[in-house]
Amino acid sequence: MVSFHSIQLKLMLKISREDIQIIGEHSNWPEKSISKALREHVYSSKASWHRFISIFLLVLGVSFSILGIVFFFAYNWDSLHKFVKIGILESLVVLATTAVFFTWKKPLVQKIVLTASAMLVGVLYAVFGQVYQTGANAYDFFLGWTLFITIWAVVSNFPPLWVIYIGLINITVVLYAEQVANDWSEMFVFALLFSINTLFLVLFLWLPKFLPLKTSPGWFTNVLALTAISFSTIGIVKGIGVGHDDFLAVLAVMALVVYSLGIWYGLAMKKSFYLAIIPFSVIIILSSFLLHESDGAGMLLAIGVFIVISVSLLIRFLNKIQKIWTS
């Protein structure tokens, strides 16, 4: 039996619901103390729920406001003069940006308002493009939007705004390749996108170690990692089907290096997410290669067996290493 004193020492460390349940089953821990431990270490408090609901409603309100502005212009497009359209949006951008200075006591609210301003900039550029027929789907539209909010993204260091910013960079590169750089090969575009997203991922993982910056939340770096790996996986799979391309070899080598570093980082930092998505990408690539070699019934059966076995082994490995990390 575990003593009550050892339980108190355990609670001084980080403890989860599962830990409390296991200790409760194999100790003389009173039921009231277990309930108290759950309330203090597992359950969210009233203050936490109040903060969550406040932020959620604020984000929801800002999102619906921006959507309302978009639908307002879409519904009344023919009834509004072009100067009224642009003037309204410019006023909203100025008001939203000015509101940032009046919310300095609430940094999170300040960053959310700044993110709304960044979205309004995109709406402004889209309306400008429709009024003067400069194109709302051209690469320079997204390029201008990206450049305009660059300082905001850097200064705020707000992950949702960074997601928007990095997404705009990816869209700009894709549209530039389609509309201007017609001599760029498809593999080069995928290699470029893979490099850009990997670079952002490395910066957000390592810069806080050398600069006085707040560590990025896990969901944000996971999104960056998943985006980068998606580009490499799709690019290599498409390259296998296309055939010879010099940049296919470049993309494959880059992926091999990044994947190796990703596995090392996942093991060193105990990040099971990287240990899951990287092998899964390799499984997809190998399956695509086998399918490219032959699409007969025998090969399809072999690919099915390969996927089942490899995914099962991957899940077993992740469960095993997770138990080792938590023991």
The better pLDDT of the pair 56, 186 is held by: 186
Rounded (to 5) percent helix, strand, coil in the chain? 85, 0, 15
Which of 33-42, 83-92, 137-146, 190-199 shows the lowest per-residue confidence on average (mean pLDDT)?
33-42
Rounded to an integer, what distance in angstroms lies between the CA atom of residue 302 and that of residue 214?
A: 48
* Model confidence at 151: pLDDT above 90: yes
pLDDT-above-90 percentage for the chain: 38
* Model confidence at 85: pLDDT above 60: yes
The better pLDDT of the pair 210, 14 is held by: 210
Q: How large is the average pLDDT for residues 308-318?
A: 94
Q: Which residues pair with 27 in a beta bridge?
A: 2
Q: Which residues pair with 2 in a beta bridge?
A: 27
Q: How large is the average pLDDT for residues 207-224?
A: 84
Task: Give me the residue spans of the domains in the chain.
Answer: 1-43, 62-183
Q: Check the CA dihedral 117-119-122-127 and report its sign.
A: negative
CB 230 within 8 A of CB 178: no
Q: How large is the average pLDDT for residues 23-33?
A: 65
The better pLDDT of the pair 261, 139 is held by: 261
How far, in Å, are 112, 115, 323 from residue 159 at the CA level? 10, 10, 31
* Model confidence at 38: pLDDT above 70: no
Global confidence as pTM: 0.80
Name residue 112's amino acid. Answer: I
Q: How large is the average pLDDT for residues 303-311?
A: 94
Q: How large is the average pLDDT for residues 81-89?
A: 80
- Provide the pLDDT for residue 307: 94
Half-sphere exposure of 142 (CA within 13 A, CB side): 17
* Model confidence at 274: pLDDT above 90: yes
Instruction: Tell me the average pLDDT of the chain.
Output: 83
